[in-house]
Amino acid sequence: MPNHESSSSFSPSFRGDTTQDYNDRLAQLARETKAPELNSSPGDYQIGPEDLLEISVLEAPDLNRTVRVSDDGAISLALLGSVQAAGLSARQLQAALEDRLRQTYMKDPQVSVFVQDVRSHPVSVFGAVEKPGVYQIRYAKALVEVLSMAQGLANDAGDTVIVVRHAADPGDLSVTALLNSRSRAVRDTPLEAAVAMPSAASRTAEDTPRIEGITINLKDLLDSSDSRSNVLVYPGDMVKVARAGIVYVVGQVHKPGGFLLKTNENISVLQAIALAEGMTSNAKGKDARIFLAGTNGSPKEVPINLDKILAGKAPSPLLKPDDVLFVPNSGGKEALHVLEQSTAGMVGAVGGAAIYRW
């Protein structure tokens, strides 16, 4: 299992405040976390479909080839025809090719096999990460390593990570078994459909791969005291970071920025002001504005009187994901004008704000 023995200046219980804190902690754990029992030498890498191999035969340059492994796991070579390569290490394939040549054309063949390009060991990382995409891993990696490959969490990352995999036979967790049982099936499964599919439904037919999902809390993952959350991610798995909505509070507040909404629920203006640690002494609460997120390129402006709301003399409106609460000061008309120009102007005004997790 992943090694979390080493600690750091972080306390045993991680209490990150911003997305940057989360990403700093993630990068630190990725440096410390290894899976030594699976990170074998390069010669132990198991070849799979679509890998590109460079094959050289000493003193027989006409037999040298750069070949792509076919979908059924075979390669085609001059004189030897079709040779099964998938599931073998480079050393094992070398031995198999030498044996074939020894039986047919050469007395003492010396073959070298080099994996030039890995294509058969994909891990799909999507959702609220900085760089979603398909990444190649030669061996199983700890979850924090995989998230770091995607350059960490996006600002709207929620508190949940889901690892989706096609299950191998119970008790057989070798890389070979995992590759053979699910990597190709995962590549052929739409990402969102695989995540949404319940594991029970995938067991209705005996010949249908069983899909299982592991749900992990991000704070548990980044807490050095909970190594159980840092699960191994195998070739063919998918990793999804759930998204959360963000409400922005900018202007004359003590802690301006974006605040993640837990489970995408709405919060009131009062709650938002509390998260922003209240208004400053220069705030002009009676001229506050809410900019409602719009779909037509222009946010809708709603004037509110924060002074009355805080005094309990007016109701506290609800804020939804991507809404912006702006608190001006006595000279705040210019800043307000920038926000009013367009959605792009509003995003530009708040986009550089810290994103807080509460």
Ramachandran area for residue 59 (φ above 0: left; ψ -120 to 50: alpha; else beta): left
**Kind plus residue range of the DSSP H or E element containing 133:** strand 133-136
CATH superfamily of 246-356: Outer membrane lipoprotein wza domain like (3.10.560.10)
pLDDT value at residue 279 = 95
pLDDT value at residue 191 = 39
pLDDT value at residue 354 = 82
pLDDT value at residue 152 = 94
| Measured distance CA(58)–CA(170) in Å, rounded | 43
Tallying the residues shown for the chain, one arrives at: 358
Provide the residue ranges of all domains of the chain, joining segments of one domain with +: 19-40+120-243, 46-117, 246-356
| Measured distance CA(225)–CA(6) in Å, rounded | 10
β-pair partners for 327: 251
Sequence letter at residue 321:
P
pLDDT value at residue 224 = 67
The phi, psi pair for 357, rounded to 5°, reads -115, 130
Task: State the 10-residue block means of pLDDT for the chain, 358 residues long.
Answer: 42 71 90 60 76 91 91 89 91 92 88 90 94 90 94 92 74 41 38 40 48 88 80 92 92 92 83 95 93 73 94 93 90 52 48 76
Sequence letter at residue 351:
G
DSSP 22-51: HHHHHHHHHHH---TTT---GGGPBP-TT-
Q: Which of 239, 264, 8 is nearest to 145 (CA)?
A: 239
Other CB atoms within 10 A of residue 321 CB: 16
CA angle, 116 then 121 then 124, to 5°: 125
pLDDT value at residue 331 = 65
pLDDT value at residue 183 = 38
**CATH number belonging to domain 19-40+120-243:** 3.10.560.10
**CATH number belonging to domain 46-117:** 3.30.1950.10
pLDDT value at residue 302 = 92
Same fold, 19-40+120-243 and 246-356: yes
